[in-house]
């Protein structure tokens, strides 16, 4: 399946140079040493969650599949590598025919994860797998960080919708990815039209303070907006005096005014005053949208306020203080020779400073308690215990180089809501704490 099968309007360009130079120099050395063809297993995981976070959210998987599918070294890319002398001619010839032909397994997008969870497993020859390290980590680290922040915000918001509006606070292409990740985490819409175009996410937006300042009076600005966009529009009421703006807005639209937006001041106090004023003016169905540097804590503090929707920008697209997940991509097993039937040998880095890893191809399952609530993340090598066979988390995403795991974004969004709901209640607490599920390791007793 390709992007056209999901009616996505934008094709992904070549991702071959979204990588670090040492991936290519390792390839050259392995080709020359005769080890490049060894069957290998790489895994993506994180050794810890960001400080204070209780769960992580897998996001960006769909973009990883696009990136793997479009990892191609065309003539222009090869010419650049040749001109810079990055690798030798033999390696360039190998790259010219590069197509990933291995398998990828992973936690389905939207699922939650914990320290040590094998979030993604990439299998194939060393040569074809090692090239994908940087682009996979780039996508998963960014998108999962945004989705985790979005999940905490949507949990704090309850049933109230959230609008992603952080495009002006991040890289222009990062904004599109952030909007997608926010949607996975529970946001309902975005202000970014490129995200709406690329991923079919609902888009919203009406006017900024500049529109009010353009006109000779606030009344003129409101009249122009209503004449153009209708009485159901959202009017920004904090440019001058909020109470006067609300009065003017209802005078122009009547009780059919769709919403007012508040972007400054003591949001809790102002929201109560605006709600009271709207009700007294007969605009009982007019909604209140609040913006202004919100994060999950600010949203939670407004739970008792008469607010109908939140718009979030800076804190969302920067991961609410944690812009990366510290995921790594490590070789955990490799064959003893290039023979496709050679057995796999577990390998692992051994070092001080908390950067050790566990060798061997891993599976993961989630143990439930007597009430059906998740209680343990179980990660192991070798056979899966019978009692966990039906609770395995990894699904196949790529088979023999062909993408088999692409799915609609709404299905991913629904999966995350279900996964979060299956966690202990303490998972949604905003207070600092340890991961809500412990990770239990089960090692194969003999063989591999």
Q: What is the pLDDT of residues 80-90, one digit of tens each?
A: 999 999 999 99
Look at residue 166 and tell me if it is in a domain. Answer: yes
Look at residue 311 and tell me if it is in a domain. Answer: yes
What pLDDT score does 1 carry?
41
Largest pairwise CA distance in the chain: 81
Look at residue 126 and tell me if it is in a domain. Answer: no
What is the rounded average pLDDT for all residues in the chain?
A: 94
- Whole-number Å distance between alpha carbons of 194 and 180: 10
Specify the DSSP element, H or E, that contains 234. strand 234-236
- Whole-number Å distance between alpha carbons of 357 and 373: 29
Domain boundary among 283, 302, 321: 321
> What are the tens digits of pLDDT across the range 39-50?
999 999 999 999
314 and 338 part of one domain: no
Look at residue 127 and tell me if it is in a domain. Answer: no
Look at residue 278 and tell me if it is in a domain. Answer: yes
User: In DSSP terms, which residues pair with 364 in a beta bridge?
Assistant: 379
Look at residue 448 and tell me if it is in a domain. Answer: no
Q: Lowest-confidence range among 45-59, 190-204, 311-325, 432-446?
A: 432-446
Q: Lowest-confidence range among 179-193, 265-279, 303-317, 356-370?
A: 356-370
74 and 191 part of one domain: no
Hey, how many other C-beta atoms are within 10 angstroms of the C-beta on 45? 25
Q: Is residue 88 classed as helix, strand or coil in its secondary structure?
A: coil
Q: Lowest-confidence range among 140-144, 349-353, 390-394, 437-441?
A: 349-353
Average pLDDT of the segment spanning 193-214: 97
234 and 376 part of one domain: no
Which range marks the domain in which residue 368 is found?
3-121+332-442
216 and 248 part of one domain: yes
Of 244, 252, 201, 246, the closest CA to residue 226 belongs to 252
Average pLDDT of the segment spanning 69-73: 95
339 and 303 part of one domain: no
Total number of domains constituting the chain: 2
162 and 297 part of one domain: yes
Check residues 58 and 356 and name the one with the higher pLDDT.
Answer: 58
273 and 230 part of one domain: yes
Look at residue 356 and tell me if it is in a domain. Answer: yes
Look at residue 273 and tell me if it is in a domain. Answer: yes
372 and 421 part of one domain: yes
67 and 23 part of one domain: yes
Q: What is the pTM of this model?
A: 0.94
Q: Say if residues 253 and 281 touch (Cβ distance below 8 Å).
A: no
CATH number at residue 32: 3.20.140.10
163 and 108 part of one domain: no
357 and 292 part of one domain: no
| pLDDT at 208 > cutoff 90 | yes
Average pLDDT of the segment spanning 407-416: 98
153 and 284 part of one domain: yes
| pLDDT at 321 > cutoff 60 | yes
What pLDDT score does 3 carry?
47
């Amino acid at each position: 399946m390709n992007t056209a099968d999901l009616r996505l309007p934008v094709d992904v360009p070549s991702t071959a140079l979204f990588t670090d130079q040492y991936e290519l120099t390792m390839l050259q050395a392995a080709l020359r040493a005769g080890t490049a063809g060894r069957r290998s297993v790489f895994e993506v995981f994180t050794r810890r969650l960001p400080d204070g976070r209780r769960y992580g959210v897998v996001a960006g998987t769909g973009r990883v599949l696009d990136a793997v599918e479009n990892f191609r070294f065309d003539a222009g890319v090869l010419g650049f590598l040749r001109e810079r002398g990055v690798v030798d001619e033999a390696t360039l010839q190998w790259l010219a025919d590069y197509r990933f032909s291995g398998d990828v397994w992973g936690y389905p997008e939207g699922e939650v994860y914990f320290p040590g969870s094998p979030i993604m497993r990439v299998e194939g020859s060393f040569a074809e797998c090692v090239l994908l390290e940087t682009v996979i980590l780039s996508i998963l680290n960014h998108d999962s960080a945004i989705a985790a922040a979005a999940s905490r915000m949507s949990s704090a918001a309850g049933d109230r919708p959230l609008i992603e509006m952080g495009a002006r606070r991040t890289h222009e292409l990062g904004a599109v990815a952030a909007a997608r990740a926010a949607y996975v985490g529970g946001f309902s819409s975005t202000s970014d039209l490129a995200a709406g175009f690329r991923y079919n996410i609902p888009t919203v937006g009406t006017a900024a303070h500049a529109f009010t300042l353009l006109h000779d009076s606030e009344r003129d600005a409101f009249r122009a907006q209503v004449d153009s966009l209708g009485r159901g529009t959202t009017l920004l009421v904090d440019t001058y005096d909020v109470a006067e703006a609300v009065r003017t807005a209802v005078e122009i639209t009547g009780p059919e005014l769709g919403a007012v937006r508040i972007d400054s001041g003591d949001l809790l106090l102002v929201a109560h005053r605006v709600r009271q004023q709207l009700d007294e003016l007969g605009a009982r169905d007019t909604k209140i949208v609040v913006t202004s540097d919100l994060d999950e804590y600010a949203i939670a503090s407004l739970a008792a306020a008469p607010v109908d929707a939140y718009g979030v920008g800076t804190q969302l697209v920067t991961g609410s203080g944690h812009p990366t997940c510290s995921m790594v991509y490590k070789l955990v097993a490799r064959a003893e020779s290039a023979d496709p039937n050679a057995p796999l040998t577990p390998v692992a880095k051994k070092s001080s400073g908390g950067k050790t890893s566990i060798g061997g191809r891993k599976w993961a399952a989630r143990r439930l308690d007597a009430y059906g609530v998740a209680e343990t993340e179980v990660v192991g090598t070798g056979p899966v215990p019978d009692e966990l066979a039906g609770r395995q988390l990894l699904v196949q995403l790529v088979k023999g180089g062909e993408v088999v795991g692409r799915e609609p974004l709404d299905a991913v969004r629904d999966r995350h809501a279900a996964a979060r709901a299956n966690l202990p209640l303490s998972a949604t607490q905003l207070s600092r704490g340890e991961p809500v599920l412990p990770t239990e390791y089960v090692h194969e007793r003999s063989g591999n």
